[in-house]
C-alpha cells in the first residue's frame, strides 16, 4: 500500500469487515459505552497503521483481527488505569459473539465450555475466538504474531485442559 493511505478505501474496507471489530470489542469490553470506545480505539489504531498494510502479505481481515486483538489485549495488560474496570474477562453475555449456537435450554456441557473460556487469559481467549472462527493455524499465527508451532502447541494445551475439565464435568454429573 502507498505511504499516503486513501481514507475512502480504508472506510470501505473497515465497513466491510466491521463485524471483526465489533466481535473483538464485545469479547473484551464490559458495557456498551466501553465497547464503543474500544471500537473507536481499534479503528484509530487501524487507520494509523493502514499506510503500512500490504495486501500482498495479508488479507485485510487477518490484518484487522491482529490490530483489534492487539489493542484489546494491550488495554487489558495496562489495566492499571481507567480501563481496568472497563475491560473484563469473557462473560456469559459475550459468548453470543462466538461461533457457538446456543440452544434455548443450555446444555450443561455448553455451560461448562463457556465457564472454561471465561477462565482463559487474553491471549488464549483470542486463540479460542480465532479457532471457533475456523481460522487456520497460519492465519492465527499471523494475526497474533506467533509461530504456527506456538499456535498449535497453545491450541493443543487448551484442548487438553478442556478435555480434562469436560471429563470432570461428565464424571460429576454421573
**Residue of 80 and 14 predicted with greater confidence:** 14
State which H helix or E strand residue 5 sits in.
none
Distance CA 106, CA 104 (A): 6
Q: At what angle do helices 148-173 and 122-132 cross, to 10 degrees?
A: 90
Tell me the pLDDT tens digit for each residue of 88-114.
444 444 445 444 444 455 567 777 777
CATH class of the domain defined by 1-88: mainly alpha
What pTM did the predictor assign?
Answer: 0.68
pLDDT number for residue 169 = 58
Assigned CATH topology for domain 93-174: Arc Repressor Mutant, subunit A (1.10.10)
Tell me the pLDDT tens digit for each residue of 51-90.
999 999 889 999 999 999 999 888 777 754 444 444 444 4
Burial 130-162 (b: 16+ CB within 10 A, else e): bbeeebebebbbbbbebeeeebeebbeebeeeb
CA-based Rg of the chain, rounded to a whole angstrom?
A: 17
Amino acid at each position: 500500500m502507498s505511504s499516503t493511505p486513501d481514507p475512502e478505501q480504508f472506510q470501505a474496507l473497515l465497513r466491510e469487515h466491521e463485524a471483526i471489530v465489533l466481535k473483538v470489542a464485545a469479547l473484551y469490553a464490559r458495557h456498551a459505552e466501553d465497547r464503543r470506545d474500544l471500537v473507536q480505539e481499534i479503528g484509530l489504531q487501524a487507520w494509523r497503521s493502514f499506510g503500512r498494510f500490504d495486501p500482498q502479505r495479508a488479507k485485510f481481515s487477518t490484518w484487522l483481527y491482529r490490530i483489534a486483538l492487539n489493542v484489546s489485549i494491550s488495554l487489558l495488560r495496562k489495566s492499571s488505569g481507567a480501563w481496568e474496570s472497563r475491560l473484563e474477562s469473557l462473560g456469559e453475555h459475550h459468548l453470543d459473539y462466538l461461533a457457538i449456537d446456543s440452544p434455548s435450554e443450555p446444555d450443561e456441557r455448553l455451560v461448562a465450555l463457556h465457564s472454561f473460556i471465561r477462565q482463559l487469559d487474553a491471549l488464549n481467549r483470542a486463540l479460542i475466538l480465532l479457532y471457533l472462527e475456523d481460522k487456520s493455524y497460519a492465519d492465527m499465527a499471523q494475526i497474533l504474531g506467533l509461530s504456527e508451532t506456538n499456535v498449535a502447541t497453545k491450541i493443543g494445551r487448551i484442548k487438553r485442559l478442556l478435555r480434562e475439565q469436560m471429563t470432570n464435568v461428565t464424571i460429576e454429573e454421573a
